[in-house]
Amino acid sequence: MIKKILLATCALILVIAGAGYLAIDFNKQAMYQLATDLGAKEAGLVAKELKVKGHNVHYLENGLKDTKPTLLMVHGFGAFKENWIRMAIELKDDFHMVSIDLPGHGDSDYFADSDYDIDQQVAAIHEFAQQVIGRPFYMTGNSMGGAITALYSATYPKDILASVLLDPGHITDVESEFHMHLRNGVNPLIVENSDQFRTMVAFAMSQPPPMPWFIADVSTQKMAERKHKNDKIWIDITQNQRYDFKKMLGNITSPTTIAWGKEDRVLHYKNAYIFQHLIKNSTVEIMDNVGHAPMIEVPKLAANLMRQMLAK
């Protein structure tokens, strides 16, 4: 009899503990979504989606299309449209803003048999821009998104009024600490647990913003769930390119700002001068005490770069 009572008590404890864990997990997901929604609301951004090249593509857009010039914002590898919210808050009265989840990233569709190299992303963005923007626009991108912005500007020069490349990828003549990790078989940008996530944030950013526990937990979970996707996308963007990226940069005709965090450990800031040499009508801005993600680390400074782009 006592044994039965003990077993029943243990079972009840396990049920309560399990329910408690599910409640905590649900609550942190809800808190994460609430925090994201509040940030987007403060920036005036609304979540939308449409079909692009067979993918359901998700994006954020404010309501200033008919009153302000358009700024299209493109995230980096393994990132997502919400990365731009902190900067977008600073620019909510200056631009009609559009932040896209690239195909294969964020909430947009991922298909294992699709190619996610940057030339394919450029083609997808062109179709997206025709549907959503429909006129020449300003463009900015970070890391891989910076390389996409540059290649887009080279491929569709009439579409782009001016651009800001934030720590752009695809030119690594000057190697960084990141490349030493890659040679050792470790990619710090692909994570699957909380320790790796914390290491990635510290590695990528010199001035990471405050991050509540539920943001860190849910971010880790999201990145772990898409590790296999990031593994595949990494191969797509680093192997078997069908284009000459450096040569293409010579086709850019619009004013281009190459802005780089001096403390970037993912991509060395001295590569900015190689971009400048290859892109006509370009200028370099090196940001002290900033890492790989200026729009997250120093959103006011990044926003000022966008306003300066308008002046050009």
CA quadruple 73, 165, 93, 83: dihedral sign: positive
Residue keyed to tokens 């003990």: 6
pTM, entire model: 0.90
Return the SS3 of 282. strand
**Would you write out the chain's pLDDT as a tens digit for each of its 312 residues?**
444 443 333 333 333 334 343 344 558 889 999 999 999 999 999 999 999 989 999 999 999 999 999 999 999 999 999 999 999 999 999 999 999 999 999 999 999 999 999 999 999 999 999 999 999 999 999 999 999 999 999 999 999 999 999 999 999 999 999 999 999 999 999 998 989 999 999 999 999 998 888 888 999 898 999 999 999 999 999 998 899 999 999 999 999 999 999 999 999 999 999 999 999 999 999 999 999 999 999 999 999 999 999 886
* Residue 296 Cα distances to 37, 79, 218, 299, angstroms: 16, 12, 18, 6
Distance of CA 230 to the CA centre of its chain: 13
Cα four-point dihedral sign 173, 177, 180, 181: negative
In whole angstroms, give the CA distance from residue 84 to residue 147.
17
3-state SS of 28-46? HHHHHHHHHHHHHHHCCCE
> Is there a contact between 59 and 68 (Cβ–Cβ < 8 Å)?
no
Q: How far apart are CA 222 and CA 225, in angstroms?
A: 5
Do the Cβ atoms of 261 and 269 come closer than 8 Å? Answer: yes
Residue 295 contacts residue 202 (beta carbons within 8 Å): no
Phi, psi (deg, nearest 5) at residue 70: -90, 135
Is the CB of residue 102 less than 8 Å from the CB of residue 75? yes
Best CA proximity match to 75, nearest among 133, 162, 146, 171: 146
Q: Can you tell me the distance from the alpha carbon of 46 to that of 66, in angstroms, rounded to the nearest whole number?
A: 16
70-74 and 137-142 as β-strands: parallel, antiparallel, unpaired? parallel
Furthest-apart CA pair in the chain: how many Å? 86
Q: How many residues does the chain have?
A: 312
| Burial (0-12, 13-18, 19+ Cβ within 10 Å), 16 | exposed
What is the reported pLDDT for 16?
33
Dist CA 131 CA 100 (whole Å): 13
Distance CA 163, CA 7 (A): 66
pLDDT value of position 47: 98
Amino acid letter for position 127? E
Count of other CB atoms within 10 angstroms of residue 10: 10
Location of structure tokens 């526990």? 213
